[in-house]
Structure 1
Amino acid sequence: MSEDQPLSAVSPVLHELRAGTHTRHVALEKRLPFFSNTLDLEGYTRLLSAYYGFYHELEERLQHSPWMTHGFDLQARLKTPALRRDLQALGVSIQSLALCETLPALHSPACVLGVLYVLEGATLGGNVLRKQMSQRLGLEGHNGCAFLYVYGEATGRQWKAFLEFLGSVPLDAQARDQAVQAASSTFSCFEHWLERQEVLL
C-alpha cells in the first residue's frame, strides 16, 4: 500500500485499514510465487487462473451489491476483463475454470469499501510484477500480462483517486471496524482460495 502520504493526509479509515490488514497482507505477499525461481509459464497460467476464479466471483457480487457506495465507478475498475484477456492469450478455456465460493461478506457500505481497498491496493505493485514477468517469461500486456498492470501509467492516479473517495465517505467507528474486518476477510479468503488451488509457495 502507498506509504508516501503525510500523516495529516491519511484519513482515519485508511489508517485503520492499513494497521488492521498489515499482518495478513505481508503474509500473503510472501507466499505469492511471482519472484520464485521455480515459476514457469505453466505455473504463471495456473496462478492467473486461480486469480480469475476469485476476482470474477467477487466482482460479480460487488456489481450486484445493494451496498455499493454511490459515486464510485466500479465498471471502470473491474479487473476480471483483463484477467480474461490474459487467460485467453495463454490458451486457457475460461469456462473450465474453478470459481471461488467463499468470499468476504458484503452486508454494508463499509464492507464494500474494505473489499475495494484490497482490490485497488493490489494494483500498486503491478509495474514491478509486469517487468518481472516480461524478463522471465516474455509476457507483455498483449500476450498474458494485462492484469498485472491493469491501470498502466495511471496506476498512481487511480490509487490517489480511490483514497480521496475513501476519505470522503463518512464512517463512524463501527463502520470503520466493519471496513477493516471486510478487508481482512478479503485477504484471508483470497489466501485460502489460492492455497486450495495449490498455487502458493
Structure 2
Amino acid sequence: MLSKAHDVGAPSLLDALRTGTSLLHVALEKRLPFFSERLDADGYRRLLQAYHGFYAPIEAALYASGLIPAGFDTALRVKTPTLVSDLHGLGLDDTAINALPHCTALPRLDTPAACLGVLYVLEGATLGGQVLRREMSQRFGIDATNGGAFLDVYGPETGRRWKDFLDYLGSQALDAEAQQRAVHAARSTFSGFERWLDSQEVLL
C-alpha cells in the first residue's frame, strides 16, 4: 500500500522527503506480496495483522506526542480503527486483535519535523489503494465490508486528501536542519516498517 506521487512545483520539504526516501520506498514496494501468486487468503490476513502491529503503535505515539504541527486533522486521517474493522471482518475478535504483537522499534518522535516525516510516509501509503483493493477483491472476494477497507482507506477522497496534505507540508516553515530531521524520521519509518514486516514473515 505504497505508491509514489509526482507533483509539479512541489515544495522543498516534499522534494527533500521524496529524494531522501525514494530508494527505501522502491525496495519495500518490491517486497510487498499483494500481487504475488504466493499470497493466499491466510497470507492476506497475516499481512493485515502485521500492518496493524506497526500502525497501531506508531499512530498512538504520533498522536500522543503533542508535536504534530497545527493543521493536521488526526481524527480524519487516523487509520488504525479501519485496520481493526478489517481484522474483525477477517474473523478476529477483540481479544485476538489485542493479543497481536506490536512493533517497538519506532522512529523517534521528539520534534515537529520528525512527526512530519512519519506522516509523509503514512499519508503517501494511501495512494494506489484502489488498485490493491480491486486485486484482493478479484482474488479473494475481499472488499471494504469484509477486510479490505484499509487498502483504500480514503476511497474517492484519496486524491483530494493527498493534495491537502501536500498543501499542509508546504505551509511548514522548516530550516535545513529541521528538514533533515523530517527526512531521517521518514527514512526510519520506511526501514522500520520493512524490518517489522520481515520479522512477521509476510514479505517476499
* TM-score, reference length from structure 1: 0.97
Aligned to 1:95: 98
SS where residue 165 of structure 2 aligns? helix
Aligned to 1:143: 146
Q: How many residues align?
A: 198
Separation in 2, partners of 1:72, 1:66:
12
User: 1:63 deviation in Å?
Assistant: 1.0
State the Cα deviation string for residues 143-170 of structure 1 (Å, max 9, x = none). Answer: 0000001000000000000000000010
Deviates more, 1:17-26 or 1:86-95: 86-95
Asked if 1:164 corresponds to 2:193, the answer is no
The percent of aligned pairs where both chains have the same amino acid is: 57
User: 1:68 deviation in Å?
Assistant: 1.4
Separation in 2, partners of 1:137, 1:69:
40
- Identify unmatched segments of 5+ residues in structure 2: none
SS where residue 139 of structure 1 aligns? coil
User: 1:2 deviation in Å?
Assistant: 1.3
State the Cα deviation string for residues 65-88 of structure 1 (Å, max 9, x = none). Answer: 121111211121011011000001
Separation in 1, partners of 2:90, 2:125:
22
Separation in 2, partners of 1:63, 1:14:
22
Q: How does 1:1-201 map to 2 (within 5 A)?
A: 1-3=4-6, 5-6=7-8, 9-92=9-92, 93-201=96-204
Give, as a single letter, the amino acid of the residue that structure 2 aligns with 1:186.
T
User: 1:99 deviation in Å?
Assistant: 0.8
State the Cα deviation string for residues 32-72 of structure 1 (Å, max 9, x = none). Answer: 00000011110000000000010000000011012111121
User: 1:179 deviation in Å?
Assistant: 0.5
Separation in 1, partners of 2:136, 2:111:
37
Give, as a single letter, the amino acid of the residue that structure 2 aligns with 1:135.
Q
Give, as a single letter, the amino acid of the residue that structure 2 aligns with 1:31.
R
Give, as a single letter, the amino acid of the residue that structure 2 aligns with 1:148.
L
Separation in 2, partners of 1:143, 1:68:
32
Separation in 2, partners of 1:63, 1:16:
24
- Identify unmatched segments of 5+ residues in structure 1: none
State the Cα deviation string for residues 153-194 of structure 1 (Å, max 9, x = none). Answer: 000000000000000010010011110000000001100000
Separation in 2, partners of 1:178, 1:94:
33
Separation in 2, partners of 1:111, 1:74:
16
SS where residue 24 of structure 2 aligns? helix
User: 1:121 deviation in Å?
Assistant: 0.1
Separation in 1, partners of 2:63, 2:132:
27
Separation in 2, partners of 1:96, 1:75:
25
